[in-house]
């Protein structure tokens, strides 16, 4: 067949590199998982696909860059900075907090400007989705054309000059697969954030409110839960995690800070949320990890250029075979 020439079935490559692919896949999956939480929480509470969440993530990347560049005073250069382990961790933590603040406030602002007026008007679900697409346009094009007018050297058609804070370096090996410091940072911080979010949703008063609104918003309101405040918190949590994911992503892909850089990742994170069962917090985390790993396997099996196709085909297959995802759908019922 003519077409077969472009698709290879490199089974040996998959088997030989299995553990390395798994480890790298987990670090991708950790990023997907953090972004997926934002989709899943908002969907659980509002039944809305927050299409603009990928742009919240993108703003987080710019927030990271701004913090490193202006606040912490790193100038972009081809070489990595070597500040020692402890100091690097401190710098990363500051940048992460800043990125989280940027993304978190952007998410809340998005909710306030775009979605709240619609809720007040009892708009149809399609209207919400179209608004989300519109906001996605607005945020992308803002960074594309308006931001360079406001802050010199930011935004525009090209990616930002990378600032390398951490030079990828092998730390130790597991099952013959090397684990780099970048992978370690990504997986550990994602794990910490995931556990923190899980506790916040399942153990705190606010988390109970979120689950209550997701289960039955009218009854929750009658029981004294402030629906508007819960919705705002939900957007805030999603935004904070997207900001953290943005910092981790820039460690992995330093040259990826561009106005259109969130789009594809957003769709994949959404796929991850659907994979695990949209509306379900633990599902999103699990789905993210599975998607990251599967994508890497697919890339090894079929070739690098098919990486994105693997993610989309996986999404379509999951929706066809088990539309409710691996862990089932409901945020409210997951831990009632």
Nearer to another protein, 7 or 97 (CB): 7
Identify the DSSP state of 169. -
Nearer to another protein, 133 or 223 (CB): 133
Count the neighbouring beta carbons within 10 Å of the beta carbon of residue 273.
34
Nearer to another protein, 27 or 136 (CB): 136
Q: For residues 266 and 56, give the distance between their C-alpha atoms in angstroms, rounded to a whole number.
A: 9
Rounded to the nearest angstrom, the gap between the alpha carbon of residue 48 and the centroid of all alpha carbons in its chain is 17
DSSP 3-state assignment of 122? coil
**Contacting positions for another protein (CB under 8 A):** 2-3, 5-6, 47, 49, 113-114, 117-118, 121, 123-131, 133-138, 140-142, 144-146, 149, 263, 267, 270-271, 274, 305-306, 308-309, 312-313, 315-316, 319-320, 323
Shortest Å, Cβ 12 to another protein: 22
Nearer to another protein, 153 or 176 (CB): 153
Shortest Å, Cβ 14 to another protein: 19
Q: For residues 268 and 93, give the distance between their C-alpha atoms in angstroms, rounded to a whole number.
A: 26
Shortest Å, Cβ 149 to another protein: 6
Shortest Å, Cβ 7 to another protein: 8
Nearer to another protein, 103 or 136 (CB): 136
Nearer to another protein, 120 or 205 (CB): 120
Q: For residues 84 and 97, give the distance between their C-alpha atoms in angstroms, rounded to a whole number.
A: 20
Nearer to another protein, 118 or 200 (CB): 118
Phi-psi sector, 269: left (phi>0), alpha (psi -120 to 50), beta: alpha
Residue closest to 251 by CA, chosen among 60, 101, 86: 60
Both structure tokens of 205:
């008063």
CA–CA–CA angle 241, 182, 274 (5° rounding): 40
Shortest Å, Cβ 164 to another protein: 29
Q: For residues 233 and 212, give the distance between their C-alpha atoms in angstroms, rounded to a whole number.
A: 13
Q: For residues 71 and 319, give the distance between their C-alpha atoms in angstroms, rounded to a whole number.
A: 44
Shortest Å, Cβ 212 to another protein: 22
Shortest Å, Cβ 306 to another protein: 7
């Amino acid at each position: 067949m003519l077409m077969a020439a472009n698709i290879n079935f490199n089974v040996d490559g998959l088997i030989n590199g299995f553990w390395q692919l798994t480890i790298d896949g987990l670090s991708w999956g950790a990023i997907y998982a953090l972004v997926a939480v934002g989709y899943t929480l908002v969907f659980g509470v509002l039944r809305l696909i927050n299409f603009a969440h990928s742009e919240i993530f993108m703003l987080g990347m710019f927030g990271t860059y701004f913090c490193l560049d202006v606040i912490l005073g790193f100038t972009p250069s081809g070489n990595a900075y070597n500040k020692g382990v402890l100091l690097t961790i401190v710098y990363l933590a500051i940048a992460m907090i800043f990125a989280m603040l940027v993304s978190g406030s952007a998410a809340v602002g998005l909710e306030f400007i775009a979605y709240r007026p619609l809720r007040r008007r009892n708009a149809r679900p399609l209207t919400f989705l179209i608004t989300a697409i519109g906001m996605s346009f607005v945020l992308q094009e803002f960074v594309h054309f308006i931001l360079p007018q406001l802050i010199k050297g930011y935004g525009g058609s090209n990616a930002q000059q990378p600032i390398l804070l951490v030079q990828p370096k092998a730390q130790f090996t597991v099952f013959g697969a090397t684990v780099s410091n970048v992978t370690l940072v990504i997986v550990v911080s994602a794990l910490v954030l995931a556990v923190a979010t899980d506790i916040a949703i399942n153990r705190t008063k606010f988390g109970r409110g979120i689950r209550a609104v997701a289960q039955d918003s009218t009854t929750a309101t009658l029981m004294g839960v402030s629906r508007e405040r819960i919705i705002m918190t939900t957007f805030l949590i999603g935004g904070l995690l997207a900001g953290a994911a943005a910092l981790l992503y820039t460690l992995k892909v330093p040259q990826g800070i561009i106005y259109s850089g969130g789009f594809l990742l957003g769709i994949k994170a959404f796929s991850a949320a659907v994979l695990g069962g949209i509306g379900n917090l633990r599902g999103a985390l699990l789905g993210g990890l599975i998607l990251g790993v599967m994508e890497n396997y697919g890339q090894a099996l079929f070739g690098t250029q098919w990486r994105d196709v693997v993610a989309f085909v996986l999404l379509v297959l999951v929706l066809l075979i088990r539309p409710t995802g691996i862990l089932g759908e409901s945020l409210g019922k997951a831990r009632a």
